[in-house]
Amino acid sequence: MSVNRRKFLGASLLAGAGSALTAGNERGMPKPSPRRSANGKLAIGILGVGGRGRSHVQQLLYREDCEVTAINDIDPKALEACNQLFVKAGKPLPKAYLKGDRGYLDLLQNAGTDAIIIATPWEWHTEMAIESMKAGMYTATEVAGAFSLDECWELVNTHESTGSHLFFLENVNYRRDVMAVLNMVRQQVFGELIHLECGYQHDLRDVKFNNGKQEYGGGVEFNDRGFHEARWRTQHSVLRNGDLYPTHGIGPVAMMADINRGNRFVYLTSMASKGRGLHDYIVNHPQGGPDHPNAKIEFKLGDVVTTMIKCNNGETITLFHDTNLPRPYSLGFRVQGTKGLWMDVNQSLMIEGKTKSHEWTKADEWLRKFDHPLWKKYEKQAENAGHGGMDWFVIHSFVEGAKTNAPAAIDVYDAASWLCITPLSEESIALGSHPVTFPDFTRGRWLKNKNTFASGDLY
């Protein structure tokens, strides 16, 4: 690492953490120790190089300002497939860490990285993020839903006691239409916001990363007999009933509604439908059938989980989780204010006095007119990245933040407030849709925080 960066990193960590950092060190935690590869580029380690981890690696391989110097996985095949990306790019292989479930600790202690990306199954995110922050890393974690409120507090407390930043990798916040609509919200095109809708509505019955290949069980097989996400994700539908994956929907609308920046989530209530989708899928699948052992499983997850959130400033948000029925993909956004609304499912809007009243008008022209300045600037770079370019933006914001140790664009308070929807919705459903209150993870700072998300000219 360059001397300047080391000085800067050290100074800003200390300034950011203040007395909390001192307290952390008194408790025996390692000081966040700035480190950097010898060539002056940001050195990044990746924990979990399955489908998502490798797509991040691919993005990072295109960049000149950073390099992936270390990778970790429990599966040698995943490490090998990741290595192939480096071979193809003609770049030196990273050091691979393969020592079982906690091989990542070896990487954190010995790899000399500056920053970490966590792309493991959900149950590993918090533990890994905490250890990574304690090791002084600028830490990014993939999306998920939390298991408990305590876990969300642990993320916040570790950030505050170590001074290490946590970047929550919610890529949908950077979707082009979503950013154009954020721009419209900020310019009051919809008037004062009243109601928002969103969700994760994605048919995952065949677990997408199978690519439809029948030899992987097509989603009928899971856990040890499954492949990719079927190895861990389906089991959540067996044992849990709640909104298991809230952040692709809630992230974008939370930024539009200034959550943790002048507004906050106050309480929610959730309701789950009956669950039939996965059972029917297994029974009717050519590799399943009524006598297949998995046909006997009772899935706890309701097929459609609906959550309503009340915000401090009076807005309501409806959030859907719908992954186990046949349906086309849609995040179901609706952004509605005193002057009109936009919906993504019909890609249309109505703005009073500007478009025909009582009718939908196609949104394309409006989205072009309000195209976010960052999309205008980076359109070319984002072109080839996954999910329509938004994956380029989320990695770009993370890398630029990590290079200067800047506060994360999507920070630990966002992560905690969005992830906690999962345990809160589980609790509400278990209590017959009783309202449950959100913790204030900002400890009152939401009153004064300003919304600076995507308002710079770099990220």
Q: How far is the CB of 375 from ligand NAD (least distance, A)?
A: 18
Chain residues 190-209 in contact with ligand NAD, contact rule CB under 6 A? 209
How many amino acids of this chain bind ligand NAD (CB under 6 A)?
28
Interface mask toward ligand NAD for 160-179; x: CB under 6 A? -----------x--------
Q: Which of 10, 112, 121, 332 binds ligand NAD (CB under 6 A)?
A: 121
Is 222 an interacting residue with respect to ligand NAD (CB under 6 A)? Answer: no
Q: Which of 13, 44, 46, 47 binds ligand NAD (CB under 6 A)?
A: 47
SS3 of the chain: the string is CCHHHHHHHHHHHHHHHHHHHHHHHHCCCCCCCCCCCCCCCEEEEEECCCHHHHHHHHHHHCCCCEEEEEEECCCHHHHHHHHHHHHHHCCCCCEEECCCCCHHHHHHHHCCCCEEEECCCHHHHHHHHHHHHHCCCEEEECCCCCCCHHHHHHHHHHHHHHCCCEEECCHHHHCHHHHHHHHHHHCCCCCCEEEEEEEEECCCCCCHHHCCCHHHHHHCCCHHHCCHHHHCCHHHHHHCCCCCCCHHHHHHHHHHCCECCCECEEEEEEEECCCCHHHHHHHHCCCCCCCCHHHHCCCCCCCCEEEEEEECCCCEEEEEEECCCCCCCECCCEEEECCEEEECCCCEEEECCCCCCCCCEECHHHHHHCCCHHHHHHHHHHCCCCHHHHHHHHHHHHHHHHHHCCCCCCCHHHHHHHHCHHHHHHHHHHCCCCCEECCCCCCCHHHCCCCCCCCCCCC
Interface mask toward ligand NAD for 245-264; x: CB under 6 A? --------------------
Residue with smaller CB distance to ligand NAD, 160 or 206: 206
Q: Which of 29, 35, 51, 325 binds ligand NAD (CB under 6 A)?
A: 51
Is 144 an interacting residue with respect to ligand NAD (CB under 6 A)? Answer: yes
Task: Kindly indicate which of the ranges 228-236, 257-265, 402-410, 434-442 contains the residues binding ligand NAD, using the contact rule CB under 6 A.
Answer: 228-236
Q: How far is the CB of 455 from ligand NAD (least distance, A)?
A: 22
Q: Which of 67, 73, 114, 160 binds ligand NAD (CB under 6 A)?
A: 73
Q: How far is the CB of 152 from ligand NAD (least distance, A)?
A: 16
Q: Which of 142, 243, 322, 440 binds ligand NAD (CB under 6 A)?
A: 142
Q: How far is the CB of 73 from ligand NAD (least distance, A)?
A: 4
